Each structure stands twice: as structure tokens, then as C-alpha cells.
Amino acid sequence: MIITIASGKGGTGKTTVTVNLAASINRDDVTVFDCDVEEPNSHIFIKPENISSEPISVMVPKVDTQRCTLCGACEEICQFSAITLVAKRIMTFPEMCHSCRGCEMVCPEDAVKEDSRVLGSVHQGKNARGIDLTWGELRVGEAMSPPLISQVKDRINPGGIALVDAPPGTSCPAIEALRSSDYALLVAEPTPFGLNDLALTVEALKKLKVPTGIVINRADDAPGIVEEYAKKEGIEILQRFPFSREAASICSRGKLLVNEMPEMKALFQQLFNRLNQLLTESKEAGEVGK
């Protein structure tokens, strides 16, 4: 089961919800995946140990100039100007490449060989309390995060419950994180900016056909605006977290709310139980459907 925590607007508390949700329960089958690879932060709170890291790269072309006859077929198929013929020479621009392998497939001389471009790394570790975290880290200067996000998600064990921390926004990186999730939990900030971006994410999730619920963070900023929207859209509000300076201060120091504030722990446990209930129901409904 994959539960992805997303928001549209940045800074609404996705990471706070993800890491505290994981820490509020003691279950071996719950693992955390941080897919905000541009700015991963879950490790700051979970504090994993014995970290193993793996560089992640994608295929880019390298031309064997001995074999190349300068026919230009690779240039013709490439939509991204990543391989081009200039003054009787083949030039490649690895940073433009989307790894579609079109050039490799089209070359009549078998002159396009496989090279690689490093996108970043995937790290994995467990903290002292046994919470398992896998996270991606995009190389600074690299523009394409979706293939790295996809690599992080490839490491999800389908048997357990995976909590996925998504990047903000509604374009490719966020969509890559949300794709094929069983449930999307949207963390909404009750402000006009928050509501605007929440609505965009809800529209994206309709396209992706992922069931959706909302939690409201800092629930007293503009009370009512998210509730009103959720009611209109028929989306369940699973939990409300009140604004608290104490909570903000705990988070700012990289600490877990569930360890410092018992009342917060209760709210997160309640949220997890409701999520679990929803997922069990949908699983059963799915099995009946089959």
C-alpha cells in the first residue's frame, strides 16, 4: 500500500506529517520514502543510521566515431537536441538527453553506445527506533528529477505500507511521486495561497484517479476555507493540526512532534488508524470487485 503525502503549495507540512505519522506507530511494515529529491528533509527528522548510498544515473549516448558515417539519423529522431551533427562532427549534449534511446535504436551502423549521466543518489538507513527511510538526493545543477523519483519508488516493498513524501507543485516531479499511489493525503494550509494550490493538486489527482483525503495543518489560520472546499468536492478531512508556536519550534530543531507533545502523538495515531481503515476497506472492495 502506498500512501503519498502531497500538497501543491510548498511548506505546508508534508514532511512533518510524513515523519510523525511513521513515528506515531510501532509497525515494522511501515517504511518512509522521501521523493522530494530536490530538497529532501525527512532524514533530518528520522535520523537514520548505517546509511547506504547508491549513485543513480541514466543512459546518455556516446558515439563511436570509427563506426559513425555522419548519416544524421540520430539527430533527426532526437526531440531534445541532445545529439547533433555540426561541421561533419557528431556532438552530444548529455544534459539535454531524456534517455529515450531513440538514437541508439535508429543508428544503422550501431555506432551509438551507452554512456551515463549521474542524476543524484538514493540513500537508505534505519533509525534507532527501527524506522526505515529511503530518500533521493538530486545532484545540484541537474534539472531532471522525475527519473530519480522513479528510482526511489522502485525500492518500495509492495507488501508493506509505504509513506511517500512528495515534492511540492503539480508538474512532473509531484506527478511522478503521486503516480500509482493507493491514496494521496494532501496537507493543506488554510490560507488563500494554500487553498489555491490544494485545488490544483486535487484536479491532478482526479486525472491520476488516486483516492484523496485532506489534513489541515495550522488549522486556525483562516478557519473554514478548506472545509468549505472539501465539502464541495466531497473530500474527507482526516485530521486537523492546530497552529502552535511550540510545535513550530520543535519542528525547526529537527525533532519529532510525537516524541515531544503527547497530544500530537494522539492526533497522528488517530490519523493513521483512519488511513488504515480506509485502505483496508478499499482493498476489500477491490477483492470483492475481482
Partner 1 sequence: MKVVVTSSGKDLDADLDPRFGRAKYFIVVDTKSMDFEVKENTQNLNLPQGAGIQAGKTVAETGVEAVLTGNCGPKAFQVLETAGIHVITGIQGTVKGVVEKFNAGELSYAGGPNVEGHWV
Partner 2 sequence: MKELTVISGKGGTGKTSVTASFATLADNRIVVDADVDAANLFLTLEHKTLENSYFKGGSKACIDKDACIECGDCRERCQFDAISEDFIIDPIACEGCGVCAYFCPEKAIAFEQQVCGEKFVSQTPWGPMIHARLGIAEENSGLLVSQLRQEARELAKDKKIPLIITDGPPGIGCPVIAAVTNADALLIVTEPTLSGLHDMERVKALADQMNIPTMLCINKADLNPETAGRIKNFAEDNGIHFVGEIPFDREVIDAMKASQSLVQFSQGAAAKAVKSIWKEVQQFMGTTLERIM
When asked if residue 181 is in the footprint of partner 2 (CB under 8 A), the reply is: no
Q: Where do contacts with partner 1 occur on this chain (CB under 8 A)?
A: 79-82, 84-87, 89, 91, 93, 96, 143
Residue range at the interface with partner 2 (CB under 8 A); choices 26-34, 141-149, 260-268, 272-280: 141-149
Nearest approach in angstroms of CB 194 to partner 2 is 9
Nearest approach in angstroms of CB 29 to partner 2 is 27
Residues in 14-33 at the binding interface with partner 2, rule: CB under 8 A = 15
Interacting residue with partner 2 among 141, 224, 234, 289 (CB under 8 A): 141
Do 44 and 254 touch, CB atoms closer than 8 A? yes
When asked if residue 8 is in the footprint of partner 2 (CB under 8 A), the reply is: yes
In this structure, the chain runs to a length of 290
| Residue number with CB closer to partner 1 (57 or 84) | 84
When asked if residue 253 is in the footprint of partner 2 (CB under 8 A), the reply is: yes
Q: Produce one character per residue of 48-75: b if its CB has 16 or more CB atoms within 10 Å, e if not.
A: beeeeeeebbbbbbbbeeeebeeeebbb
Residue range at the interface with partner 2 (CB under 8 A); choices 49-57, 126-134, 199-207, 259-267: 199-207
| Residue number with CB closer to partner 1 (87 or 140) | 87
Interacting residue with partner 2 among 62, 98, 126, 155 (CB under 8 A): 98
Interacting residue with partner 2 among 29, 64, 203, 281 (CB under 8 A): 203
When asked if residue 208 is in the footprint of partner 2 (CB under 8 A), the reply is: yes
When asked if residue 169 is in the footprint of partner 2 (CB under 8 A), the reply is: yes
When asked if residue 171 is in the footprint of partner 2 (CB under 8 A), the reply is: yes
| Residue number with CB closer to partner 1 (44 or 143) | 143
